[in-house]
Structure 1
């Protein structure tokens, strides 16, 4: 497929002149922050733009122009020659249909059970009983496998995978990506991978295109780009990527946020956030020029080398030996499923304890028990001050702040309401809470819909801190954030000084956050100890398998 001069507009310009090509047997990654136009570019290539948006330019498949074609033409291509794999399999799978029915529908005339089972086996589902199960009866990783089997059943020439592993744990993510790679090699299929995870893109792709504010600003082989990025935006993204190999003294994100394409159509789109910008950057739009074959950049200058942020002291928090939380022998079952099988851990004052493991390991059940949202079947949970109300002792920062903030309330009203639940002595004002999380006081008048994902998460953190809790439970707080925003939020959490239980499936993130680590598998603690000790010399096979699944840091 060849995409040329693609422009997408609605009430304003969103994608501004994208050129991209994917050949058979090649994997091309499309990376960039939210708002860059990655997903809309993919949807335009599949003829699935939302209503109200219009695309111009060219989308060619084997010499055939698709952009502007009638829907019947797209239907003859979509799902057969071009397939789409989405981030959330629930968006692709009908909850009323079985896994086998989804695959059979894509086979179109080859709907015998043996062929359905063969297609499921191709994506690692060897149990024939899975074909008769509905999506709600499957794990997240299994649902994504079924969605992949359905997307591949018609033997497409191009698979467009839009954030296909974002919501999955590291082991399942690795398995899904290797499945895609294996099928691609066997069939000679092209893959367009859209992701905000640079580690995934740089490990899996043959070429990577970096999008910013609706345009491609750099393109090339990932090995070259990782060593010497040719655009400051790429360099900034790479500098923000955490690593599981060592703890960085400081996590550095790019200041500011992505502008609308319409606002920067005549200038360098990155100039306002770039430390290397000169007056000429604001007066003309730099073209995407060729440095050498297959190596393109839209920067007028030579990019400075990436600065390595060396390992340093933990941070400024003071850790003491008195426990803020002590969990002993915690058990929780759901029918025959053992979610927690006797888990014990403690968190000292000023300490961050990371809890890691794959899906179904019991991480979230443990967090919900400590928060009082789930009643355990057995065991004890001791908090530092049993007389103080639990909501003043323990607060939580969830993965998706858009579902935990009331959309009808302004930021100021949300924070004022939360602060009123805390102690009167030393109560922080709304302006002080916003300053604490690095937001201006003017944000008090905004509603969540008017904030970026990172800004909403900062507000969620401010709300959690408003009651001055002794313990903060962070349940995948950066899993849905872009790498640059993630760096800002993690650095903020490292600075607040509150004791934390940090729940995550990302070992690179937990390396930057935790003093000690607890590894859960099937509801049991299989390994624990100092973070560096566990990650540098894992003693348990499950921990070693988690580490082996972490994509290499570019």
Structure 2
């Protein structure tokens, strides 16, 4: 039975953004909507929920079990949101009020009065990685058994019991979590609380917009399995929006690929991963890094996503497509059926996109006199929490070392200690013979020796400065003999010299990250610390940035300390890897050896959480 039926959805503001999207989600089905940033995925979801920003209008048809939502009165939409359609967003911090406890969030989302026992079948604890969901969701004191009648209002005791039952459904069996504030919870725990609140009124459809992007691999896996189990137990429809194809193909029954405001391919995820029917899908799949083999080159799709209004009468992907011809630009290719439940908007049969060949990697083994960074017995506590419990590692000159682990393992604290942003309680940090353990440490010399590339270039670049001003300001901090011009820095990261006149808001996410890398390299540092530099980037842009970092390491001899939770990225970028668990090093060695034959149970658990590469 079709639950959500979207027909000819068009979203416009000053420009065309979404251009005639057709989409359907059945009860009990998970449909993935994938594509690069700027494709229109999130605005499609917001149009479905009636939550478009001011200045944007939607036309077409959006029906939920036959009820037309587009053009409906706000009173009707309010009765649908939460009760029949719920949203789970990327950042639970943005969804949760920092002044309210987890229990208050869920309690406020509950229906006005208790309902009879849930008609949904209980979640199978054997199918859940948590095993904490009650066998009978109707057994809560808030939902009396027997006649099926429910009390007419909540009491303090019944509301509390219902909140705890809702937490148990998302794998939280610790009652004290209900009394904690968002800042007292981990990222995964916050996302579970946000999911419990979203499900509190038993919606028919859940729209999950990038719900795992900011989470580490094991937490991401747990949240995805949780979504799958809850969805199956409830018979709920799920529309999952993501730019991670591995997540979409692992979790979704069907996948729809969106590009420049329109759908270019749709079908069962397994079939699409095996034989993509559109060049864009093939390009995204070819750009995925592998956790099992090291590729000789990481290939992203050249160019960027055009505005929907600029490509209304042509194939939107033609300018980036290696097999496009003049016919592709004559008119807009329709979304045509090529097999049962398989559709593509390409005129031709897609030629397989060649994937780079695996390469044998011989990691550098730096001798004692080639060691650039040496860390010995580093300890750091925050109150009663041990962030680092005695970490020791080294990075050789020209070597790339990965630091992996779940959130809270101490990765970022380690980086901040090396950068001098945090003072360790014990231990020693030595970089190129300079003692960096205390902040009175050679000032400008230390600044020129080590630089950092952060996860979000939007917040690390000054929005009021042009790219040229940002790079010139950074280059002025270097030594005169090693100083690079703005044009040289832009060329180093593969950007035209004309970009010097642009401001960050005029750049794509990948272009902003390239500028951030150029700024970090402006002083010619010996060590570049990369703290999750590609975690928020689309897969094609990610491939470009990773290949850039590999090239810089080879050509400039810059050492990399690469912090990430993505083991596929570690495989492609690093020579050696250090695995952190709760502030301690549990395994280290050649990256290929650790990923092919992990010796520690924790490393094996990290690898098991990585979605398979199609």
Place the TM-score, normalised by the shorter chain, in its bin: over 0.9
CA shift, 1:153, in A, is 1.1
Structure 2 equivalent of residue 198 of structure 1: 245
Structure 1 equivalent of residue 262 of structure 2: 215
Structure 1 residue 331 corresponds to structure 2 residue 391: no
CA shift, 1:482, in A, is 0.2
CA shift, 1:173, in A, is 0.5
Q: Distance in 2 between matches of 1:369 and 1:524?
A: 15
CA shift, 1:175, in A, is 0.5
Q: Distance in 2 between matches of 1:153 and 1:306?
A: 45
Q: For residues 63-114 of structure 1, what are the alpha-carbon distances to aligned partners after superposition, in whole Å with 9 as ceiling and x for unaligned?
A: 1111011111111001011100000011211111111111112212235111
Residue from 482, 485, 496 that aligns with 1:429: 485
Structure 2 equivalent of residue 366 of structure 1: 414
Runs of 5+ consecutive residues of structure 1 not aligned to the other structure:
none
Structure 1 residue 418 corresponds to structure 2 residue 474: yes
Q: For residues 158-211 of structure 1, what are the alpha-carbon distances to aligned partners after superposition, in whole Å with 9 as ceiling and x for unaligned?
A: 100000000000010000111110001111100000000000001000000000
**CA separation of 1:125 and 1:318: change in aligned 2, threshold 3 A:** closer
Contact 1:244 1:511 in 2 (8 A): yes
Q: Distance in 2 between matches of 1:77 and 1:170?
A: 33
SS state at 1:425 partner: helix
Structure 1 residue 542 corresponds to structure 2 residue 609: no
Q: Distance in 1 between matches of 2:533 and 2:218?
A: 19
Residue from 296, 307, 330 that aligns with 1:260: 307
Structure 2 equivalent of residue 103 of structure 1: 106
CA shift, 1:441, in A, is 0.2
The Cα RMSD (Å) is 1.1
Q: Distance in 1 between matches of 2:310 and 2:547?
A: 30
Alignment of 1:346-365 (within 5 A): 346-365=394-413
Structure 2 equivalent of residue 24 of structure 1: 27
Structure 1 residue 149 corresponds to structure 2 residue 196: yes
Structure 1 equivalent of residue 540 of structure 2: 484
SS state at 1:468 partner: coil
Structure 1 equivalent of residue 96 of structure 2: 93
Structure 2 equivalent of residue 454 of structure 1: 510
CA shift, 1:426, in A, is 3.1
Q: Distance in 1 between matches of 2:482 and 2:96?
A: 51
Q: Distance in 1 between matches of 2:530 and 2:457?
A: 12
CA shift, 1:425, in A, is 0.4
Structure 1 residue 299 corresponds to structure 2 residue 346: yes
SS state at 1:389 partner: helix
Q: Distance in 1 between matches of 2:461 and 2:364?
A: 31
CA shift, 1:62, in A, is 1.0
Structure 2 equivalent of residue 501 of structure 1: 561
SS state at 1:417 partner: helix
Alignment of 1:112-191 (within 5 A): 112-191=159-238
CA shift, 1:137, in A, is 1.2
CA shift, 1:308, in A, is 2.4
CA shift, 1:318, in A, is 7.4
Deviates more, 1:237-246 or 1:301-310: 301-310
**CA separation of 1:329 and 1:513: change in aligned 2, threshold 3 A:** same
Moved >6 Å (runs of 4+)? none
SS state at 2:480 partner: coil
Structure 1 equivalent of residue 137 of structure 2: none
Q: Distance in 2 between matches of 1:65 and 1:426?
A: 64
Structure 1 equivalent of residue 59 of structure 2: 56
Q: Distance in 2 between matches of 1:320 and 1:274?
A: 43
Q: Distance in 2 between matches of 1:404 and 1:185?
A: 41
Residue from 227, 230, 243 that aligns with 2:290: 243
Q: Distance in 1 between matches of 2:377 and 2:252?
A: 45
Q: Distance in 2 between matches of 1:403 and 1:500?
A: 22
Contact 1:320 1:350 in 2 (8 A): no
Structure 1 residue 4 corresponds to structure 2 residue 36: no
Flag the structure with larger Rg: 2
Q: For residues 420-460 of structure 1, what are the alpha-carbon distances to aligned partners after superposition, in whole Å with 9 as ceiling and x for unaligned?
A: 10010031110000000000000000000110000000000
Contact 2:482 2:523 in 1 (8 A): no
Q: Distance in 1 between matches of 2:572 and 2:429?
A: 27
Contact 2:378 2:390 in 1 (8 A): yes
Contact 1:329 1:343 in 2 (8 A): yes
**CA separation of 1:427 and 1:379: change in aligned 2, threshold 3 A:** same
TM-score, normalised via structure 2 length: 0.89
SS state at 2:406 partner: coil
Structure 1 residue 340 corresponds to structure 2 residue 388: yes
Structure 2 equivalent of residue 401 of structure 1: 457
Residue from 484, 495, 500 that aligns with 1:439: 495
Q: For residues 120-145 of structure 1, what are the alpha-carbon distances to aligned partners after superposition, in whole Å with 9 as ceiling and x for unaligned?
A: 01101110000011111111111100
TM-score, normalised via structure 1 length: 0.99
Contact 2:482 2:524 in 1 (8 A): no
**CA separation of 1:320 and 1:528: change in aligned 2, threshold 3 A:** closer
Aligned length: 553
CA shift, 1:320, in A, is 4.5
SS state at 1:90 partner: helix
Q: Distance in 2 between matches of 1:96 and 1:373?
A: 28
Runs of 5+ consecutive residues of structure 2 not aligned to the other structure:
115-153, 435-441
Structure 2 equivalent of residue 75 of structure 1: 78
